[in-house]
Chains A and B, each alone.
Chain A
Amino acid sequence: MIEILSDTALATVQDLGRAGSLGAGVGCAGAMDDLALIAGNLLLGNAQGDAAIEVQVFPFQLRFETRLSFALTGADCGATLDGMPLPPWWACTAEAGQVLRLGPPRRGALQASRAYLCLAGGVDVPMMLGSRSTQLRGAFGGFNGRALRRGDRIAAGPATAPLPAGGFGLEPAAIGLALECDRVPALRVLPAAEYDRYTATSQDNLWRAPWRITPQSDRYGYRLAGPALEPLAPIELRSHGIVPGVIQVPHGGQPIVQMRDAQPSGGYPKIGTIIDADLWRLGQAPIGSRVRFVRCSWDEAIAAAEENQRWIARAARLADLYRQHRAAA
């Protein structure tokens, strides 16, 4: 059991998202950085998709009410346990009464925006429509369908694997799966239905311009700033299903990338879609930073998904080996 000590809003319980209720109007939700969530769970011997706490406003503090193993992944927030510094992407065991504090994400090449706190046994909240992720619109799932508040007490499920004394860690995904274009994080994109209905200049700008992430960016969507994307003629569409990662262009010409809390349908013209394998990279890109879109093919999208799977398989192997080795020692 842990108790939240921060008033900070916007920390939510997330897993890998909710599938299968799009037809009832329910979006996916889920971790903005699925690789960080999976890595944290692997460190603890949890199932890959167990629920965790996604923290995106700092500082963030909580107290362990009972002895409990935990993992911190995602943004390096210079975390401390009772004042003792913890390495990033690290799992260890807290004693009852100890306080975990996450500061603002450290600046630098690997600066990220969201941290993930995984608990041994997973965050224990009820499964709603097949997921433990918080569905803010409609207010269900996660912890009472809302962001966490001071005084909330959150339980962990039964842990299966004991953690080696002293703890251990993994290399952040941003190192092994780094992808840049002109020294700016790159996001691979498949053109979408309306791509051919934009001017040649706009198409060119989509691939060449650095896109700035504006402060109006959150779990719902990232509003980007750059050269206006102009259709050859005004486009009005009938509403249709959409997915996180779709790059919509409202009439103003500044694109919006729909993110994990996006609604499951929409009608703005879509010029492209960031492939699923790269969406975590945008989910971690700080407000004010820039990203580039890189055109890719279907085969490249499949290869990228496989590369992520290989990264996860390797992380799982390392975590298992370390746990067995330490248990045998």
Chain B
Amino acid sequence: MSTPGISLLGSSAILFEAPGETTLLTQQRIWALSREVAGWPETGEAVPGMNNLMLRFARPPRTLDALITRLKVAWEAAEPLPLDGRSIELDVTYGGEGGPHMADVIRHTGLGIDDIVALHTAPDYPVFALGSHPGYCYLGGMDPRLTTPRRQVPVLRIPGGAVSIGGSQTGVSASDGPSGWNTIGTTSAVFFDPAGNPPALFQPGDILRLRAVRVLR
């Protein structure tokens, strides 16, 4: 067991990274830490990531030592905070034009497309955090056999609804935009409404299920 990583993101933010494997239990402690940190005077916004937390400064503190100590103490004290979310199912078409990088995932994992689809649709994916772009969620629970490195050069435009794998993570794109992940399928859903309250369809703690409606070879 190593110690948490604490590093600077310039003068704008500080990044706290929990040690160990990516787990839901650790994420529940991150949610607890996020709730605690959100009330600190130097915090502009507490932003949970995948087993990590970014504290964006309201204004940068003059010195960092006291803040870093407080972060470490708060992490030690953080008890897992289970969030009871909703369960939402999305229909996915795997492969074909909507999954242009399926071949790369096949090549890297050594698995066939049917195995990849079976492994990818099996889990209940807990929403760990939102990020990347409006309404996008980072999911836990992908089968480690599907792990595929991010692309050497990011793709300039992938469409909304793209289902993709980046490293040991998977996710569904909420709108058109650039991405460094491998797109293996596509789905349709409205993930974000800026006038909504809250604006995002998913919240941390929700459960996402993927259902394969077509597999294109």
Contacts and interface: CB of A to CB of B under 8 A. Distances in A.
Interface string B48-81: 1111111010001011100000000000000000
Interface in B145-173: 149-154, 166-169
Interface size of A as a range: 35 or more
Contacts of A139: 175
B165 to A, nearest CB: 12
Given A19-B45, A252-B153, A236 B8 contact: no
Contact of A267 (B56, B150, B152): B150
Interface residues of B, number: 59
B194 A140 contact: yes
Contacts of A250: 150, 152-154, 180
Contacts of A192: 7-10
Contacts of A23: 45-48, 129-130
Interface string A106-150: 000000000000000000000011000001011111000000000
Nearest to A270: B9
Nearest to A238: B50
B174 interface: yes
A177 B192 CA distance: 40
A74 B49 CA distance: 35
A264 B133 CA distance: 7
A76 B92 CA distance: 51
Contacts of A141: 194
A128 B194 contact: yes
A132 B200 CA distance: 19
A30 B42 CA distance: 22
Interface string B1-27: 000010111111101010000100000
- Report, nearest first, the 6 A-B pairs whose CB atoms are least far apart: A241-B54, A265-B131, A273-B10, A193-B7, A138-B134, A240-B49
Interface of B: 5, 7-13, 15, 17, 22, 44-54, 56, 60, 62-64, 129-138, 149-154, 166-169, 174-178, 180, 192, 194-195, 198-200
Interface of A: 19-27, 128-129, 135, 137-141, 189-193, 220, 234, 236-246, 250-252, 263-268, 270, 273-277, 298, 301-302, 304-305
Given A135-B134, A241-B56, 19 more contacts: A19-B44, A22-B54, A23-B48, A24-B135, A24-B192, A137-B134, A138-B134, A138-B135, A190-B10, A192-B8, A193-B7, A236-B150, A236-B167, A238-B22, A241-B47, A242-B9, A265-B47, A265-B54, A265-B132
